[in-house]
Structure formats: structure tokens, C-alpha cells
A and B are shown apart, each in its own frame.
Chain A
Amino acid sequence: MNDFAFLLSLTLKSSMAVLLAAQGEVLSERAGVINLGQEGMMLMGAFIGYLVGYLTGNAALAFAAAGLVGSLLALLHGFFAIRLGANQLLSGIALSILGAGLANFMGRGFIGKPGLRVGEWPIPVLSDLPMVGKAVFGQNALVYVAVLVTVAMWFALSRTRWGLTVRACGENPTAADAMGAPVIRTRFTAVALGGFLSGMAGAYLSLVFTPGWKEGISAGQGWIAVAIVIFSGWRPLGALAGSLFFGFLSALQFFSQATGNNVVPLYILRILPYVLTILTLSFAAALGRRGRAPAGLGKPFFREH
């Protein structure tokens, strides 16, 4: 594999966790619910995924369990944010803290125990292509899953009736309700599915990227996923681009050191993803992205009596 192909491969590998989480957040926010609990759901997903993998040795089961725990946590957020109409930002941040604390607490006894390692899953023929074959088609299975999820998300949101309902609930829940759409149920479904993806994103880290359970394994990627959603203008394909950009920046800082050509100073490269996250979040309004945010985002819906 030459350097370019390796950089490409590392970029893909580094972007998948944020990509999955970002797709989950896109879905949730398009339905009108901000979920800042990404970091907590990812950490719990990472731990449960690791745990089930460690106990059963079955990767599919591990990812399913991680997704389910992500859904459960998301439903908890949903209960406060949708059912009780609580402040979504506060409830989400509380979820991040809860998930991180719970995962660290339950995971204490498991640090250092080698778990399941999900390896590469090359696609026949395609992975033998020259240049980029191995880098793109010689990846682990989750990379393909994440890309499929992206396409499915794009299709579901923009081309299906269900997607239209989700968007209606996010833009104008009162109108959606008047048209007979089940606003509360749709929002709960979107939040739960989003949580499922975040849980899987966490499991990607603990089963594929750096197998094993460690405290704080997600290292802020949940927050980056939230920023990417804003950066992408709440679009699945935009989130793919944003995630790849994040992955490229992380890959570049590993790679430039290993090759010894520090074109950009290392300190700058290391903080770049976080700086860009902050900038995106701070200037989201000024950039004019706000116009594209679902109009009903963050507003609880109650049917008027």
C-alpha cells in the first residue's frame, strides 16, 4: 500500500465512529429533538459492545447490544425531552454525563481484559483493485455498514413518506399533528433509532478501532458528531463529508509524524478537529446555516386542548 492509499485507509477508519453518531443525530434533529447525549451513548455503547463481545465472542450480537443500550439511553432523553417537554439541551448534557459515569463505573473491572477484535473484511475482487482497492474495500465490515446507513438515511429522509413525516415533525409539529401525523411517536422513533446508531458508533471504537475497554475511549467524538451535524446543514450526505474531513485531519496528524514530514506543526494538527468544532458551533448562526435547521428543533410539542 502506498502512502496515499494508507492515508485514505486511515481516514476512513478514523471517521466511522463520528459518521455513525452524526447520522443518528441528523435523524433525531430532523425530527425536532436535539440530543447532546452523544458522548454518553457512545461510551455506553462502547462498553456494552465490548462486554457482549467479551462474553459471547459474537460480533453481530455485540453491535446489536451496543445499539440497544444506545436506544435505551436515547429513550430516557426522549422521556424528558418529548414526553415531559423538558429543556432538551440540559437533558442531553445530563445524558452525556450519566452515560460516561455509568460506563466508567461498570467498566472498572474489565479494563485490560482483551475482548473481541473485529478484523478487516475485504470485499473480493474490489479489494484487489490497484491503488485504492485495499484502502477502500479492504476495510472492516462497519465501514461498509456506516456508508450504507448514510445512503439509507439520505433515502429515507428525502424520498420516503416516513421521512416526510419525520421532517414535518421537526419543522412544524403543530401542522404535522393537524395533518394527522403521530408527532410524539415519530419523535420517539427517530430519537431511539438515532441512539441505536450512536451505541454502534461507540462499539466501533471498542471492538474495531482500538479493541478493549478503556475509560473515556470516545475522547470527545460524540461532541464532534454534534458539530458535524450543524456543519452539514442537517443532511446525511453532508454529515458524511464532515466526518471524512474530521477523519482526514486525525489521520493526517498520525501520518505526518510517522513519515517525519511535519508540514503543519503537530500541536496545530492535534487541536484542529476541536477548534473547528468550536468554530462551527460558535458561528453556526453567522454562517447562515441556521436557516436550514429544522424550524421546530429543540421545541417540545404539546397538543393544544
Chain B
Amino acid sequence: MSRRFLSVLCCLAILAVLPGTAMAAKLKVAFALVGTVNDQGWNYAHYVGIEKLKKQFGDQIEVSYTENVGAADAERVFRQYAQDGYKLIFGTTFEHMDPMLQVAKDFPDVSFEHCSGYKTAPNMGNYMARIEQGEYLVGYMAGLMGYTKVGTVATNPIPEPIRGINAFTHGLMRGLDESGTKYDPATLNTVVWLKSWRDPIGETAMSEALVQRGSTLIRQMADTPDASLAACAKGVPAIGYGADAVEFGAKCVLVSTIWNWGVYYEKAVKAKLDGTWKPQEWYAGFDQDALRLSAFNEKVPAPVREKVLAEMEKMKKGVDDSFLGPMTDQEGKVMIPAGQRATDKELYTMRWLSKGVNGKLPE
């Protein structure tokens, strides 16, 4: 190696180190993502939030993220970030909860935020959007449009998708009642399970199987829009989940629910910058703009849109009917009495399927 080459290398090395030291005063924020940022669903939605953060706070913060952080890697990734001086660390999937709790104990001055879980610590909070509100609205829309045979390609049988399915079905039955459509609760919403957050082959095959079995509307719930894409190819409309599926080519999608994580990320970063960060259990819906609905497909009639949007306005004002009783389970047992609403604890631990759902929770 020539001497000149070595000196150039040294200069480069110094240049590379300089900005690092200069930025030491910035707040370093890190995210762990379970998939890749362009998965067209869950992780993409978090990424949109991350991008919003960068735009909002510019030079005040430095943001990093690591993709494909599964349960086995999570602790290592969190620990590495904490050791590298990151002061605000987000874990964005359910399986990050326990590893994060472990690391949080060892780094009391670092703030941790976990999405979609239920455990907290003095320096670890959690946050989640009330997706069931969106589910209720799109179910209501489907009911008003008279869909009596829905096929749902569901993900993992844990409380989050379960309450989504129940809220959807609840909204669906209300919509059908209001539009005066007769239906059979035993075959109203057929639910099949992928046992995975994403599985393109399974999503496609399940969606096609549901259409073949007579479903006239497909409810996508996976991180990827393949269930919707398959439905479109078979000439059946679908409903997107978590991000606007139309953006990814599913033109037949009537409407999509959209996670809007940026709202919470701004809040948390601002609190950390101001020195007021405290762990909390943040659980918000339309009232705090944590959720949105995409634009409606032109096939959704105007009166239906008006009714759905009116219901959304109610939610924005804090009136959430997504689990307003009476609600019964599949056997007809009353789970939520008339006039009452499910508590957050009930929502977080939900393990029953509502009347109108055709399918079982796989054990």
C-alpha cells in the first residue's frame, strides 16, 4: 500500500469520525422493525412515521432503524442501540416486548417505547392505535353496501386481530341491519388464519379459496396486500389493512384503514427533547389522529360514505361505538351487555369471537 493512499485513508477516517462527535448533542432515536420498511403494510406505516419525524425535527435528532428484527435478535439490537447512546428506542412489534423489558432494566436513563404490548417499566411505555375503530367503520361500510358473505384472511390469533375481527363484524351487522339486508350470522364473516404476519403464498391461496367458497368481499389483514390483490384478480372487491392497498396496485379495494404512527412519534420525541418524557400507556384512535381511512373507491355510494364519515366524526370527538353492546360470542353468550362498552383491559386480552364470525380460534 502506498504512503499516499494511506494518508488519504487517514483523512477519510478523520472525516468520518468528525461529524459523529459534532452530533453528540443531538437526541438519538432508534427503531426496531420486524420486517422491511417497504412491506406495504405494518412496517411501511411505521416508516412513514419515522420519515415524518425526520422532517419535523430535522437537525435536533438523529434517527436510525434496523429491519428484520425478530424475537431472537431483539434484545441484541436494543442493547446495541442503548450502548451506542440512543436515548429513545422504539420496538414496533408484539414480540419485542419482553426483550425490551430486559434491556430497559439495564439502561435506566434510556427511554423505551413498545408498540402493541401490555408490559411497562419505569423507563418503558407502550403505545397502540385503536385499529378496532377503523375495523368497525369499514365493516359498517360493507354492511351498508349489503355484503353478507365476507371472507377474512386473518393473521395471528392474538388479541389485536381478534378485536379487529369482532369490531368489523359488529359494524358489518349494524350496517346490514340499517340497510335492511337479511343475513345468516353463521356464514356472515368467514375467518381463516395465516398464523403469520405476512405470507404472500398463503394470503393469495386463502383469498382465492374464500372467493371460490362464495365470499363476495375479501377482508385483508396481513401486512402485505396479497389477499386484496388476489381478490382483485378474481373480480371480487376487498378492504385493505394498515396502509392504502390501492397504492400497491389493488385497484378493487373499496377502502383501507391506515395506521398513522407519526402522531405518536412526534409526541414522544418532543417530550424527550423537553425532558418531560414519562412512560405511559397510550392507546388512541381517530380522536388523536392515530388512525385514518383512505379515500373511498368510486364504487362506494355517496350515502354510504356520508354515514361512515359521520360515524368517524363521532369517533374523532371521542365517542367510540366499536364495542358498544349488546355483543355476543358465537354461541350467543352475552359478552358485552347492552349499552356498555368493552374496557381497555377486555380489548387487550380478547380471546372470543363475535356472533357473525364463521371460524374458530386455532389452538
Contacts and interface: CB of A to CB of B under 8 A. Distances in A.
Interface of A: 1, 6, 10, 13-14, 108-109, 111-114, 117, 119, 205, 209-212, 214-215, 217, 219, 250-251, 254-255, 257-260, 262, 265-267, 270
B205 A260 contact: no
Interface in B12-54: 36, 38-40, 44
B359 interface: yes
Given A210-B204, A257-B359, A260-B190, A215 B210 contact: no
A114 B38 contact: no
A209 B200 CA distance: 9
Contacts of B40: 111-112
Interface string B204-242: 111011101100000000001010011001000000000
A259 B233 CA distance: 21
Contacts of A262: 360, 362
B92 to A, nearest CB: 17
B201 interface: yes
A250 B36 contact: no
B202 A6 contact: no
Contacts of A212: 200, 226, 229, 249
Given A112-B40, A257-B192, A209 B233 contact: no
A210 B222 CA distance: 14
Nearest to A104: B36
A108 B36 CA distance: 9
B248 interface: yes
A210 B230 contact: yes
Contacts of B230: 210
A112 B212 contact: no
A117 B210 CA distance: 20
B213 A112 contact: no
A258 B36 contact: no
Contacts of A260: 190, 358-360
A258 B210 contact: yes
Contacts of A254: 192, 202, 205-206, 209
Interface residues of B, number: 37
B193 interface: yes
A61 B226 CA distance: 24
Given A112-B247, A209-B204, A266-B193, A219 B199 contact: yes
A214 B212 contact: no
Contacts of A215: 36
B203 interface: yes
Given A215-B36, A254-B205, A270 B195 contact: yes
A211 B204 CA distance: 9
Interface in B116-167: 151
Contacts of B205: 10, 13-14, 250-251, 254
A259 B360 CA distance: 12
A116 to B, nearest CB: 12
12 contacts: A6-B209, A10-B209, A109-B38, A113-B249, A114-B229, A210-B230, A215-B36, A257-B209, A258-B206, A258-B212, A260-B358, A262-B362
Contacts of B39: 111
B186 to A, nearest CB: 10
A183 B157 CA distance: 55
Contacts of B198: 214
Contacts of A214: 198, 200, 224, 226
B77 to A, nearest CB: 18
Given A113-B249, A214-B200, A257-B192, 15 more contacts: A10-B205, A112-B248, A209-B201, A211-B229, A212-B229, A250-B205, A251-B205, A254-B206, A257-B193, A258-B206, A258-B209, A265-B363, A266-B195, A267-B362, A270-B195
Contacts of A14: 205
Contacts of B226: 210, 212, 214
A260 B151 CA distance: 12
Contacts of A10: 205, 208-209
Contact of B212 (A1, A119, A210, A217): A1
Contacts of A250: 205
A214 B248 CA distance: 12
10 nearest CB pairs, A to B:
A114-B249, A258-B209, A257-B192, A210-B204, A111-B38, A254-B205, A112-B40, A210-B200, A112-B248, A214-B200
Nearest to B151: A258
Contacts of B151: 258
A219 B200 CA distance: 9
A26 B199 CA distance: 28
Contacts of B208: 10
B205 to A, nearest CB: 4
B226 to A, nearest CB: 5
Nearest to B157: A266
Chain B CB count within 10 A is highest, among A119, A250, A254, A255, for A254
Which of B201, B202, B204, B210 has most chain A Cβ within 10 Å?
B201
A206 B230 CA distance: 13
A212 B249 CA distance: 10
Contacts of B204: 209-210
B306 to A, nearest CB: 31
B38 A266 contact: no
B38 A255 contact: no
A74 B124 CA distance: 50
B169 to A, nearest CB: 15
A230 to B, nearest CB: 23
B206 A257 contact: yes
A250 B209 CA distance: 12
B110 to A, nearest CB: 30
B203 A210 contact: yes
B248 A114 contact: yes
